[in-house]
Structure 1
């Protein structure tokens, strides 16, 4: 079962053909035998494969085995971890075993890939008899990391619920298991909080948006907004859980908070800013309007987090992200109230105030059985032992956190920020930041070589981040995310080969098959030859780094 021929992405640990080169051809009405604990995957197969093939996949009749058989069997996967699976194809059909329900589900993703692009359609295409077949062989596989994530910024440009559900399916198709939702920022508040209704009544809408990077003189004068109701969030979380994807919510404090302040002006530094005059921010960058360091603000956000914890149950979302990044201190420096607060708390200046915010919610969440995670700025001032760090400003923060005993998710902007441009040419739409090609992402290594073995064990995994200042709709998000997310998926799933270099040529050959799957799924990816005419944005200013070498 040659990996290049089958085009499996991410590459499995073991994929071996059985002797003789035979194939199993499914009958017109194959039966599905689902052992105890396999119901979620069985339902998924009946729904997704059933739509593409026309199969109903009924249970087998008395005394008969199904042509497709599912079971949970940790012993079948050779100790490869709880998300491991084994897939065997032989004369009597397909046997799929998972160490857990999650492992079984990932095995079902491999089965779908092996069946070809047609298995990703929502209705059967005209095919001849015996079209659905698989080569006899065995795949045994399990992931390298337990955290394999994508961050979607739904605050800068809102992604409607159906788009989020679609991305959950796209994550699952690539064996990714974490969706980090960036729900609040200066430009919008995207989750309903019933005790504070103005967060969405006011904070979810802005009057206009800058068109392009913040240096662009162009504006989109159409008001922009939207939010998820609490039932929307429950649906998203449940939909993800059925696909073994955890949803991590982010509520950003104490910076990136102008949308909240616009809704409730008392949250801001009222002694230095007329917060009542503030609206939801319509620009990009780092906003000076930050939360006031008061007990009243803490109580307000405790109320927000109380509702959030009910929407994101601990069993499916143990982590809560609090942001903690890019908090300007100018207003605190100018505020007599903030300066008095510094003296009362005995903290080390304005940086100490930011640490006080984070440590408060660290303890508050821990008391409720949750774990705080934040961007690497939260290291400044110290963290409680259970807190984790998203290392975005390169890997240095992650290294420091891991060496100090904190769990880390590696997401350095220099390697895995998917809003950054994919090539150096002028055709890239609204080019931002570093050039990071498909190959660049493929060569990303989440565990820095500088880490001690003890610290390396604290690397939970990695995450690609998709910020949406200049990606205003699904087509633009697709273009930035794909195909690079496929390369990222292989980084976080597949074990490193003995060679220090991953085989990019092999990956490119397997991608040739994978593009057809993305086509069937309707993904508007960047073609290998560059953007199609309708994917470009001529005349809209981006942010290439002035005077930088071509790869930056």
Structure 2
């Protein structure tokens, strides 16, 4: 099973699960029971003596127990979420054919006792739908696959220089203009190649509510992000008055635009309107404001970002929400209550925790799934440092040297899926899986987990991914048709990237030595 449970005790015999098996579940588990029936394609009529679902508050909320004997299958969780994770384990106890949408619906569940719980409360994955728009159906499928691996946070990156993906009342040109670009880059930006094809799309409020509801049924919360005050060229292309004289279009090249918000009264009102819309759609306490990679050219070199971040945090506080931002918000001092996504190596996780901020570790050198998977020339658009399955598996959210109180502030970890070079769900599958399987086990973090054990279990798990229709990267390497000779990459050396990250985060250490 992946992620590896804390304890598995096999026994003799098996339990027959078929269309006649009764399901006994209390009302508080109606949603979980409905999901189970639909997923297994079995009616599971109400009644006792077959499958029993229960909530036991004595367990931790996301903990669960599966007890299967030849006569009874009982799944108990500390909350409905815990029961749901127990049911995901049940799916992995079944043959891979049970994961398909067609075929037989009677299976034998091996007798076993599984006792399990996650170590970290934030087991997240970020999906960038700004660089390449992903239709709602593909987002829902992405959620299903993440939930299958017991991840519980979807960070949805909704806007960037290359596209604006949500409606905001009173600002129609955001989707009329900002959601569309004239073409996209082919490969890494150093090659200056373009495909000549328009690209775009956006989500209506109802689309986003559907994603939130679908994820909620799978016990995943959705944390939205609208990047500000940088990464705003798409919005400024729609409303040039928000910028500083820029009158061009939505950015077609990758990389960072120097065209940022001017931070005058109208721009501030715009940002508040955007945040209000996010609060209307998303129930998440945390609302992402990005805050990363914001050039100061348009501000005459002046650093106006800390004051802007404080204003946005204050506005969200009036709605009972808190900001979630990349670790650049630490520069100049992040507002009290801000949660930090620490991406520039491991140092920002330490800095955030020592300054008293809750923090989610997502260092690019181990958690950016757009980075190349090997040195094989057949890897599609190889960018970034080499990030193998073993590298991802070795991830630990908590840096060494933190005090017990500081360690408590590390909420967990998050893998990031940046889609500059992922123009379809098929390519997302290839870059994400099976590395996200390794990441899921790292943040679930059973006490005795090991890469050797994971590698031994993975081939059987790939049969499950096959049944789920996932275009994962084969363990033997890329297939000829995975290559993208038309979209060349830009591989990076790990030592060079580490030196670059150290330079990028110097200011953090200077402001508050740790």
TM-score normalised by L of structure 1 = 0.88
Displacement over 4 Å in runs of 4+: 546-552
Tell me if structure 1 keeps the 8 A contact 2:360–2:410: yes
**Match 1:326 to one of 260, 281, 293:** 293
Q: Partner of 1:415 in structure 2?
A: 366
| 1:459 matches 2:410 | yes
Partner Cα distance (2:93, 2:382) in 1: 36
What is the Cα deviation at residue 546 of structure 1?
Answer: 6.7
What is the Cα deviation at residue 27 of structure 1?
Answer: 4.8
Tell me if structure 2 keeps the 8 A contact 1:36–1:72: no
Q: Partner of 1:48 in structure 2?
A: 39
Partner Cα distance (2:390, 2:494) in 1: 24
**Match 2:57 to one of 74, 82, 85:** 74
What is the Cα deviation at residue 550 of structure 1?
Answer: 12
| 1:247 matches 2:219 | no
What is the Cα deviation at residue 215 of structure 1?
Answer: 1.2
Tell me if structure 1 keeps the 8 A contact 2:19–2:44: no
What is the Cα deviation at residue 359 of structure 1?
Answer: 1.1
What is the Cα deviation at residue 450 of structure 1?
Answer: 2.0
Tell me if structure 1 keeps the 8 A contact 2:309–2:335: no
Aligned-residue RMSD, C-alpha = 1.7
| 1:299 matches 2:269 | yes
Partner Cα distance (2:493, 2:113) in 1: 51
| 1:99 matches 2:51 | no
Q: Partner of 1:450 in structure 2?
A: 401
- Tell me whether 444-453 or 533-542 shows the greater mean CA deviation: 533-542
Query: How has the CA–CA distance of structure 1 residues 66 and 395 changed in structure 2, closer, same or farther, with 3 Å as cutoff?
Result: same
Tell me if structure 2 keeps the 8 A contact 1:424–1:551: no
What is the Cα deviation at residue 72 of structure 1?
Answer: 1.1
**Match 1:513 to one of 435, 453, 460:** 460
Larger Rg: 1
Partner Cα distance (1:356, 1:453) in 2: 31
Q: Secondary structure at the match of 2:487?
A: coil
Where does the alignment leave 5 or more consecutive residues of structure 1 unmatched?
A: 1-7, 334-348
| 1:210 matches 2:185 | yes
Query: How has the CA–CA distance of structure 1 residues 423 and 245 changed in structure 2, closer, same or farther, with 3 Å as cutoff?
Result: same
Tell me if structure 2 keeps the 8 A contact 1:424–1:550: no
Q: Partner of 1:288 in structure 2?
A: 258
What is the Cα deviation at residue 179 of structure 1?
Answer: 0.4
Tell me if structure 2 keeps the 8 A contact 1:70–1:96: yes
What is the Cα deviation at residue 26 of structure 1?
Answer: 2.9
Report 1:149-168 matches (<5 A).
149-168=124-143
What is the Cα deviation at residue 539 of structure 1?
Answer: 4.5
Partner Cα distance (1:324, 1:288) in 2: 14
What is the Cα deviation at residue 384 of structure 1?
Answer: 2.2
| 1:119 matches 2:98 | yes
Partner Cα distance (2:380, 2:78) in 1: 44
Query: How has the CA–CA distance of structure 1 residues 56 and 425 changed in structure 2, closer, same or farther, with 3 Å as cutoff?
Result: same
Query: Cα deviation per residue 1:382-420 (whole Å; 9 max; x = unaligned)?
Result: 122210100000011111110111000000001110000
Partner Cα distance (2:494, 2:5) in 1: 42
Query: Cα deviation per residue 1:345-369 (whole Å; 9 max; x = unaligned)?
Result: xxxx722x01111111111112211
Report 1:202-241 matches (<5 A).
202-241=177-216
What is the Cα deviation at residue 429 of structure 1?
Answer: 0.5
Tell me if structure 2 keeps the 8 A contact 1:258–1:280: yes
Q: Secondary structure at the match of 1:215?
A: helix
- Tell me whether 34-43 or 245-254 shows the greater mean CA deviation: 34-43
Query: How has the CA–CA distance of structure 1 residues 229 and 547 changed in structure 2, closer, same or farther, with 3 Å as cutoff?
Result: closer
Partner Cα distance (1:424, 1:91) in 2: 49
Query: How has the CA–CA distance of structure 1 residues 287 and 85 changed in structure 2, closer, same or farther, with 3 Å as cutoff?
Result: same
Partner Cα distance (2:380, 2:498) in 1: 17
What is the Cα deviation at residue 67 of structure 1?
Answer: 1.2
What is the Cα deviation at residue 217 of structure 1?
Answer: 3.5
Q: Secondary structure at the match of 2:66?
A: strand
Tell me if structure 2 keeps the 8 A contact 1:210–1:219: yes
Q: Secondary structure at the match of 2:490?
A: coil
Q: Partner of 2:157 in structure 1?
A: 182
- Tell me whether 360-369 or 372-381 shows the greater mean CA deviation: 360-369
Query: How has the CA–CA distance of structure 1 residues 174 and 254 changed in structure 2, closer, same or farther, with 3 Å as cutoff?
Result: same
What is the Cα deviation at residue 165 of structure 1?
Answer: 0.5
**Match 2:302 to one of 307, 327, 350:** 350
Q: Partner of 1:57 in structure 2?
A: 44
**Match 2:475 to one of 513, 518, 528:** 528
What is the Cα deviation at residue 116 of structure 1?
Answer: 2.0
Partner Cα distance (2:497, 2:296) in 1: 34
The number of residues matched between the two structures is 499
Q: Secondary structure at the match of 1:37?
A: helix
**Match 1:405 to one of 356, 362, 381:** 356
Q: Partner of 1:345 in structure 2?
A: none
Query: Cα deviation per residue 1:492-527 (whole Å; 9 max; x = unaligned)?
Result: 112333xxxx42111011111110111011111100
Q: Secondary structure at the match of 2:396?
A: coil
Where does the alignment leave 5 or more consecutive residues of structure 2 unmatched?
A: 500-514
Q: Secondary structure at the match of 2:383?
A: coil
Partner Cα distance (2:335, 2:133) in 1: 33
Tell me if structure 2 keeps the 8 A contact 1:253–1:357: no
Query: Cα deviation per residue 1:517-548 (whole Å; 9 max; x = unaligned)?
Result: 11011111100001112211125321112796
Query: How has the CA–CA distance of structure 1 residues 549 and 367 changed in structure 2, closer, same or farther, with 3 Å as cutoff?
Result: closer
- Tell me whether 34-43 or 229-238 shows the greater mean CA deviation: 34-43
Partner Cα distance (1:74, 1:162) in 2: 35
Partner Cα distance (1:197, 1:27) in 2: 52
Query: How has the CA–CA distance of structure 1 residues 27 and 153 changed in structure 2, closer, same or farther, with 3 Å as cutoff?
Result: closer
Q: Partner of 2:111 in structure 1?
A: 136
